[in-house]
Amino acid sequence: MAISATLGWPFNNMNNTELLPHLFRTEYRKIVSVLYKHFGFEHPEIAEDIASETFLSAAETWGIKGLPDNPVGWLYTVARNRAKDHLKRNKIFDQKITPVLQLSHEDVKEFDIDLSDQHIKDSQLQLMFAICQPVIPPEAQISLSLRILCGFGIDEIADAFLTSKSTINKRLFRAKDKLREEKVKIEFPPATQITDRLQAVLTTLYLLFNEGYYSTSQDATVRKELCLEAMRLTIFLLEYEPTNLSETNALMALMCFHSSRFDARTDEHGEMIRYDDQDSSLWNEELIRKGEYYLNLSSKGGINKYHLEAAIAYWHTVKNDTTEKWENILQLYNRLLQIAYSPAAALNRTFALYKSRGRQQAIIEAEKLKLNNNHLYHVLLGHLYTSVDKTTAIHHLKTALQFAKTTAEKSRIRKDLEQLNKTIY
């Protein structure tokens, strides 16, 4: 199954109850992106209100009259009409919109919202560049991307970040206010700036994917959809020639390789399954092949952070557990840490070191990191010490239990402790 097929599904056989939520997910983001393009960050509430009212109208009308022959066309027609009605009745038209669009009252009836496929895609791309601005913090960029570009509800965003609806609402309000204050335009960057601006976009998509793949949320559906949305937006960048660059292909490869192992990473209770214990028959071979395709494309533009991470992820899809495999992973981590150091990468490197060169050397390197408040750090040390010093292993697992955030994480650590205690007593 191609990646694009995983981002949606046919709705010919859906009933009203099933169809409308699906269309809200797939079409709300398209409608709101085009409306944002027209109204800008000066009046974001107009775009969101019109889009929301369109779906509210669908819920009421379809519930009474049944589904129209062309549900998507119906939504687009209603969105266009509501936009025209708003321009007719709202004084903002006279004060703000008329001078910008150079329209007279008579022109309103000719005013149209372009919801063609190409204009929708262009609007989403331009909005992506507008949202991914350093003037707002990364968590705000991700939240705003989820809300506008991905069509996520406030409840879903709050669940993804393990926080409250009020916190997300405040975060979105502050982000929009800042973008308005900075007069950020929804447009493609100049050709001379697109490479630099792309970095912020790729970082946001990378963080968005990680929020799903490494999320502490126990909602598996939301976690998967975060990853799929990040992949969908990355595909947009690949389809736009100026942003179809080495780093973009490398990021897509990374996402494909990680997603290929998604179903093998947790059990039916949501508990994490460690890499060594994963059922490799659950790995998605087609996504692995897609990852290899994008990784090959990325190598033509030189080595970058995403290329190295994608190469590491590729080796994790190689099923043979050999010293050569882990030595390759170790060397890739060494190069990655030279160009883009992060505590997480350094911690993961110590696991590769253990697999290729043994526990003792890995323990020495791991303890140098001193990530004392990181539960994964203590989980790793607990694992490394298991056959070396069980008392120390238990100490680290108990410490990990103190810092673990979710019920699933804590449950996994408790099981490790129980198993370790059985070997002692």
Number of structural domains in the chain: 3
CA 254 to chain centre: 12
Helix residue spans in 66-137 (DSSP H): 71-89, 91-92, 98-101, 117-131
Where do runs of H (alpha helix) occur along 145-193?
154-160, 165-181
Asked if the structure places residue 2 within a domain, the reply is no
Domain assignment of residue 67, yes or no: yes
> Residue 65 falls within a domain, yes or no?
yes
Instruction: Flag whether 184 is in a domain.
Output: yes
Please check whether residue 57 is in contact with residue 81, taking contact to mean a CB–CB distance below 8 angstroms. Answer: no
Q: Which of 357, 262, 250, 261 is nearest to 307 (CA)?
A: 250
H/E stretch holding 224 = helix 220-239
Is residue 84 domain-resident? yes
177 and 226 part of one domain:
yes
Pair 141, 111 in one domain: no
What is the pLDDT confidence band of residue 133, given thresholds at 50, 70 and 90? confident
pLDDT of residue 303: 85
Q: How far is CA 398 from the centre of its chain?
A: 32
**pLDDT at position 52 over 90:** yes
Question: How far apart (Å, rounded) are the C-alpha atoms in residues 317 and 280?
Answer: 8
Show the domain range for 187: 137-243
pLDDT in tens, 255-288: 999 999 998 988 877 778 889 899 999 999 999 9
Is the torsion defined by CA of 388, 390, 391, 394 positive or negative?
Answer: positive
- pLDDT category, 1, cuts 50, 70, 90? very low
What pLDDT, in 10s, does the model give residues 380-399? Answer: 999 999 999 999 999 999 99
Q: What is the DSSP letter of 388?
A: T
Tell me, yes or no, whether 23 and 57 share the same domain. yes
Angle at Cα 167 formed by Cα 162 and Cα 169, nearest 5°?
120
Question: Do residues 132 and 204 touch, judged by C-beta distance below 8 A?
Answer: yes
pLDDT tens digits, residue range 144-180? Answer: 998 998 888 888 888 778 789 999 999 999 999 999 9
At 312-324, the pLDDT tens digits run 999 999 998 999 9
Same domain? 43 vs 93: yes
151 shares a domain with 74: no
> Is 272 in a helix, a strand, or coil?
strand
Nearest to 62 by CA among 16, 108, 113: 16
Long-range contacts of 416-420 (CB under 8 A, 24+ apart): 416/379, 416/382, 416/383, 420/382, 420/386, 420/390, 420/393, 420/394
Residue 189 in any domain: the answer is yes
> Do 149 and 192 fall into the same domain?
yes
What is the share, in percent, of the chain residues with pLDDT greater than 70?
88
Mean pLDDT, all residues of the chain: 87
Boundary of a domain, candidates 208, 243, 278: 243
Alpha helices in 285-322 (DSSP H): 285-298, 305-315
Q: Which of 306, 269, 279 is nearest to 406 (CA)?
A: 269
27 and 97 in a single domain? The answer is yes
Looking at residue 132, the DSSP 8-state letter turns out to be: S
* 181 part of a folded domain: yes
Beta bridge partners of 272: 266
- Cβ-contact 312, 332 below 8 angstroms: yes
Rg, the chain, Cα only: 24
List the Cα angle 180/184/186 in 5-degree steps.
115
Q: Is the pLDDT of residue 44 over 80?
A: yes
106 and 154 housed in the same domain:
no
User: Does 125 map to a domain?
Assistant: no
| Nearest-5° Cα angle at 297, 334 to 130 | 90
Buried b (16+ CB within 10 A) or exposed e, 41-61: bebbebbbebbeebbebbeee
Q: In this structure, are 30 and 89 located in the same domain?
A: yes
229 shares a domain with 153: yes
Map tokens 């993804």 to a residue: 160
Same domain for 94 and 183, yes or no, is no
pLDDT at 215 over 80: no
Indicate the residue among 84, 115, 146 that finishes a domain: 115
Structure tokens given for 424: 């002692």
The CA-based angle 109-113-115, given to 5 degrees, is 145
Check whether residue 158 and residue 95 sit in a common domain: no
Which of residues 243, 272, 303 is at a domain's end?
243
Token pair belonging to 186:
């929804």
- Answer positive or negative: Cα dihedral of 399, 402, 407, 409: negative
